[in-house]
């Protein structure tokens, strides 16, 4: 019986690339996305697709129960949030960015971990960002949320290190996804200028790394935030 993967934010960008790659690797893939139009456009490519907001804990619990077992979780759902200096960030923009990017990751991890621990096998890959390590100007809420994802990843990885469950994060630099549509060109130029390879990454490049982290081959590496940044990373 093939393993089952749940990919959040799976209707576009990195999430979709991960869903396609994991399907090609023989997994049964279910995608979750809050964007109904995008979800309907790609739903035929997936084993199953679900219109769920990851910030809704009750909806996530219900979904995971209906999919049981979930062997692989890829948390890719995310928003860029306010693209302004921090003193111009309003309460709603700050709260929504953390609700989706950080609390959404917490919600899905909390829902799948009991089953993974009971079965003695599981893989969780959280899509963080190089912004969570270095911070990007005018993306304070986003940077803070992704730093939180990295910290959460490291904490949970230690909690389940002896349970057969491996938990890692991936920290991309700027990737060619629809999320860039909400980011000012000035900010994009700033980010690309810091990449020694001089280009943006492709979602399929991230998916290749995620596929390894979600596999049996990744057996002695947990609690890490793997950079995929074209050389930008400084630590």
- Which residues are the active-site residues? 142
**Residue in 136, 126, 132 with CA at minimum distance from that of residue 144:** 132
**Both structure tokens of 59:** 């909806």
**C-alpha 86, offset from chain centre:** 24
* CB distance 84 to 138 below 8 Å: yes
User: Which structure tokens are listed for 169?
Assistant: 């994060």
Kindly state the helix (H) or strand (E) to which residue 102 belongs, with its residue range: none
CB 10 within 8 A of CB 16: yes
Name the one residue in this structure whose structure tokens are 């994009």.
188
Using CA atoms, how far apart are residues 117 and 95, in angstroms rounded to an integer?
31
* Residue partners of 230: CB distance under 8 A and separation at least 6: 173, 195, 196, 197, 198, 199, 201
Is residue 68 within 8 A of residue 120, CB to CB? The reply is: no
Q: How far out from the chain centre does Cα 168 lie? A: 10
One DSSP character per residue, 122-143 reads: EEEEEE--THHHH--TT-HHHH
């Amino acid at each position: 019986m093939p393993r089952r993967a749940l990919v959040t934010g799976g209707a576009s960008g990195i999430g979709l690339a991960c869903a396609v790659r994991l399907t090609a690797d023989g997994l049964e893939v279910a995608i979750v996305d809050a964007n109904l139009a995008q979800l309907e456009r790609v739903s035929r490519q997936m084993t199953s697709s679900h219109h769920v907001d990851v910030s809704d804990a009750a909806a996530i619990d219900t979904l995971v129960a209906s999919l049981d077992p979930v062997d692989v979780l890829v948390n890719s759902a995310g928003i860029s949030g306010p693209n302004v200096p921090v003193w111009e960030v309003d309460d709603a923009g700050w709260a929504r960015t953390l609700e989706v990017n950080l609390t959404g990751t917490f919600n899905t991890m909390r829902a799948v971990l009991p089953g993974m621990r009971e079965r003695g096998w599981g893989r969780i890959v959280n899509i963080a960002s190089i912004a969570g390590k270095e911070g990007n100007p005018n993306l304070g809420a986003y940077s803070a949320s992704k730093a939180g994802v990295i910290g959460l990843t490291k904490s949970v990885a230690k909690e389940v290190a002896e349970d057969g469950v491996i938990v890692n994060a991936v920290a991309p630099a700027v990737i060619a996804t629809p999320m860039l549509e909400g980011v000012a060109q000035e900010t994009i130029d700033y980010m690309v200028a810091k990449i020694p390879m001089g280009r943006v990454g492709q979602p399929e490049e991230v998916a290749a790394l995620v596929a390894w982290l979600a596999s049996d081959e990744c057996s002695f590496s947990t609690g890490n935030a793997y950079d995929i940044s074209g050389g930008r990373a400084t630590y």
